[in-house]
Amino acid sequence: MLEVLRQGWDALAAVPNLRLYLSLGWALYLLLLGGWIALQKREPVATLSWLLGLALLPYVGFLVYHVFGPQKIRRQRLRRARARGDVPPQAFVEDDEVAELARMARAATDLPMTTASDVRLLVDGAAKYRALLADIAAARDHVHLEYYIWDPDRSGVALRDALLERARAGVRVRLLLDALGSARAQRLFGDLVAAGGELAWFHPTRFGRVWQRPWTNLRTHRKIVVIDGRIGYTGGMNISDDQDETLAATAYRDLHLRLEGNVVRELQQVFVEDWAYATGQRDFIGEVTRQTPVLARGTVRAQVITSGPDSSWEAIHRAHVGAIHAAKRRVWLTTPYFVPGEAAVMSLTSAALAGLDVRLLVPRMSDSRLVTLAARSYFGPLLVAGVKIYEYGPRMLHSKSLLVDDSVVLIGSANFDHRSFRLNFEVSMLFDDAGIAAALAQLIEGELAHAPRVRQGRQRGLLSARLPEALARLMSPLL
């Protein structure tokens, strides 16, 4: 075998002007791919990073870019926009304090501010699963679910069984799962489908189609449940024993929402788009529109905000930055993954420099050491500006919330990082309500009691902390 390879190499080396041909091929490779990347007009630093990667690693660099490089869903985005147009818009409710923020979100997503009649903060998985199972048991018409992670463990099986019972009773069950995040559960739903339930996978892998870029990096990170068009769930929790503190002492500390009222129509609309996009079932849209009732106006102002690679507006990112810039008294942020861009860092430091009470709550150690190191690389400027940073330690903090002043609240599936703001399909809820703000403030204050404050100037070794953090930060656009 080695002899054959040696003879092949000798024959190749004997080709006249081989170096010239290789050099010309390499130059053409850089020119074509470099021009393609430059024409996407992304941030200069990111563009230069990809160009250097392609130049220094001609084949490996292209493979990495092909799989993990930035992508925009153009043809599919048109399909999603058409799906959205088939769902009638809701009445827009505007308030002086959040009018600009609400208008921006509506312009970017076509989802207006509306109202909720009831909003419950569900803390940790046991509370969420208990409420969700009870509501599913009472379903009479349909149950729609969309999740990133669904594990085939006790929690996943219990929820599957609840859906199976409803499907056998004639309730329409539609389940949309991310093909990567829920890959372990692919064999869990045979009985559900046999009973009449419908199952679809979001962005299944397509590595076999070499002419198409795979969707490895473009996942649905959304957590949505809509029951009979009247009750909705969304927030940060997946379906896993890792989310239930009664099953695992190390379960994530997390936050979810249970909603009633017209805002559920907007969650339904998001699910409708995702289902139609994943399955191509156009007739499904009109059917669901008829199933979703218009309810009396509620007392809580609420707005669904979505973002994903099918839109260039980064609506959830803009909502966070806009809300922080509009703050007058306080900004409290909780996130499991803190890998912000320049705009986000600027908003936080500007608020702190202006004398506002700016607090950042992150896990002492997330489930990704690389992300933890990258997050800590951003602490220095924030601490200097006056941001108070706390690291929650008893369990892994997984809640994603923003509290601004005394009424503005953002809660959803999006982390405060590049991946959530630019790559994932995410959904967040914007509230303008003093009661929800007070409840969230009380929750965060309780968590701060278990989160030591990060002090400026703490001892940090070069090899044990500063250098690993700096290296991890280089990966920020991919985290």
Catalytically annotated residues: 221, 223, 228, 398, 400, 405
Burial of 8 (0-12, 13-18, 19+ CB in 10 A): exposed
**How far, in Å, are 36, 173, 272, 274 from residue 142 at the CA level?**
46, 6, 13, 16
| Radius of gyration, CA atoms only, the chain | 24
What DSSP line would sit under 135-152, residue for residue? HHHT-SSEEEEEES-B-S
Q: Show the tokens assigned to 268.
A: 């339904």
Backbone angles phi, psi at 202, to 5 degrees: -90, 120
Residue 243 DSSP class? G
* Sequence-ordered alpha helix ranges (H) in 334-395: 342-353, 369-376, 379-385
Q: How far apart are CA 145 and CA 241, in angstroms?
A: 18
SS3 382: helix
What DSSP line would sit under 20-74, residue for residue? HHHHHHHHHHHHHHHHHHHTT---HHHHHHHHHHHHHSTTHHHHHHHHHS-----
- Among 68, 71, 60, smallest CA distance to 36 is for 71
- Among 235, 149, 156, smallest CA distance to 189 is for 156
* Sequence-ordered alpha helix ranges (H) in 201-341: 263-279, 283-291, 315-325
Strand partners, 255: 123
Q: Do 109 and 184 meet the contact criterion of CB atoms below 8 Å apart?
A: no
| Sheet order of strands, 118-123 included | 118-123, 255-260, 231-235, 224-227, 142-147, 172-178, 198-202
